[in-house]
Amino acid sequence: MEAEKILTGVSISKGIAIGNAVCSKKKCEKELVNIPTEEIHNEIKRFRSALEKSKKDLQRLREKSISNGEIDIAEILDSHLEILQDPFLTEMVESKIKLSKQNIETVFQVIIQEYKKHFSKDPIFKERVTDFLGLSTRIVSYLQPIKSKKIVFSKDSIFVAEEIMPVDIMENQKKYIHALISQEGGKTSHSAIIARSRGIPYVADIDVRLLENCQKVVVDGNCGIVVINPSDKTIEKYNSLQKELEEKYKKLQKKISYKNCSQNNINVYANINEPYDIEKFSQQDIDGIGLFRSEYLLIGKNDFLKEEEQVNIYLKIAEKIKDKPFVIRLFDLGGDKIFKLVDDCFSSPNPSLGVMGIRFLLKHQEILRGQIRAIIRANVYNNIRMLVPLVTDIEEILELKQIITEERENLINRGFSISNKILLGCMIEVPSSAILCDIFVKEVDFLSIGTNDLSQYLLAADRNNIEVRHLYSSCHMAVLRLIGSVIKEGIKAKKEVIICGELASDPRLVQLFLELGATSLSVSCLDIHMIKDIADKVFLKPRKS
């Protein structure tokens, strides 16, 4: 037996699992196959038949997901169905078959390579490439059913692959796949969303070649660690830790009262990406929504949402939580969130320092004004707040406030009944806004610290770049000092400061932030009870005023 080895990767989904490695073999690219002209019609017919069978597969999976209450997975399957039902895709594939006189398997390889070339650097479009790759594999499996070999999972399987496709998880029950390990993959991928939804531990950035000949594996999704060929002592340690975490989580779910949090006015808000996320909460679970990433509404869309569509979405969420805060971040586009909806998203050679956040919105005011009107109209319960992304200069806030005033008057003149003023917040996620926050805080009602981007810009290290990821550390002293100074200015101005990003759910730092004077944290759904419990224990006595 080979010696135990610890591999360090990136945590995608928390949890601990011990099981047997099931490795996905890298698929060999098929040789280019030319077809005679008279066979083109039959090749297109084969493609259409496989396409219809694939659609039926996805519809079956979608219905199963809805019946199991897995609404987020059903939404992902909807986006996959959109791809297969897109006439542009069908026309493009059939056109390539006719022009190249090559078989459908070859055509798919060409299209995927073209997609990768154009969109591999962008996380959102890279995810679309991954989706398309998974869908094309499904279609090809119907074209070559004999050659296609499906991976068989048994109990306690830990799936290992260069890249995890959503279908790899969706088509298998949780009792079979206990954890996931991949070489590629990010926290915003569809596979990551499904893994977190099902509570499956997942670690990425692992050299999967090292797992090809091992059997027993430990996946520590909490720390981003994979242990191959674990010793009996290591297995015993993780078995104990696994039971301890499971018992603790069950207790936290049952706990309703957090008296010390209430006495000290500490809020633990939820971060949400989609409207259906709110269905996961009961009234006592959360103190409000601290961050609704509205740009996620645009993924897979060919156009921006109309004003009426936005009103309905925001109103539904606001109604669900009523007397609790609902923070909507204005469309945060550009940088690592590139959309085809506006051409100049692609024009910058360095998009992370280009037209993004509030810069993008002020440049495209028809988009900004439409969203502002929708938010104002949806605020019938007076609980909606507006959050401005990537502010670097006070002039941006002043210009935005003028636009809000104009659109408010516009709605009143059109006969809309407008509720009280909406609270306006500023995201502190670049060094300039953090340094000048004493000026910013006078012009807004609250501040929200985006710890992920603040760390990235402060340390000049792209957290998605494997070459410099080791330099990216949200726990860096410079980052913590800057966060402390922002909290201090918020206290001085008597304005709420919300801590967002990965640091807000880091158990090591929650106590530090609260002791610095922070009163609000906004975290992912799965971390709410854990953070509330930690915050409740920080102040065993009421905080002195």
Instruction: Give catalytic residue positions.
Output: 190, 500
Identify the helix (H) or strand (E) that includes residue 385.
strand 384-388
Dihedral sign computed on CA atoms, order 363, 455, 117, 224:
negative
Tokens of 132: 């398309």
Instruction: Judge residue 502's burial from the number of C-beta atoms within 10 Å of its C-beta, 0-12 exposed, 13-18 middle, 19 or more buried.
Output: middle
Residue pair 325/288 in contact by the 8 Å Cβ criterion: yes
Identify the helix (H) or strand (E) that includes residue 405.
helix 394-413
Tokens of 14: 């928390």
Which residues, in sequence order, are bridge partners of residue 157?
20, 177
Helix (H, G, I), strand (E, B) or coil at 215: coil
Measured between alpha carbons, how far is 131 from 397 in angstroms, rounded to an integer? Answer: 38
Query: If you ran DSSP here, which 8-state letter would residue 337 be given?
Result: B
**36 C-beta neighbours (distance < 10 Å), count:** 7
Classify 322 in phi/psi space as left (phi over 0), alpha (psi -120 to 50) or beta.
left
Residue pair 383/389 in contact by the 8 Å Cβ criterion: no
In single-letter form, the type of residue at position 544 comes to: K
Scanning the structure block, which residue is given the tokens 């610095």?
Answer: 516
Q: Kindly give the interhelix angle for 40-67 and 123-143, rounded to the nearest 10 degrees.
A: 110
DSSP 46-104: HHHHHHHHHHHHHHHHHHHHHHTT-HHHHHHHHHHHHHHH-HHHHHHHHHHHHHH-B-H
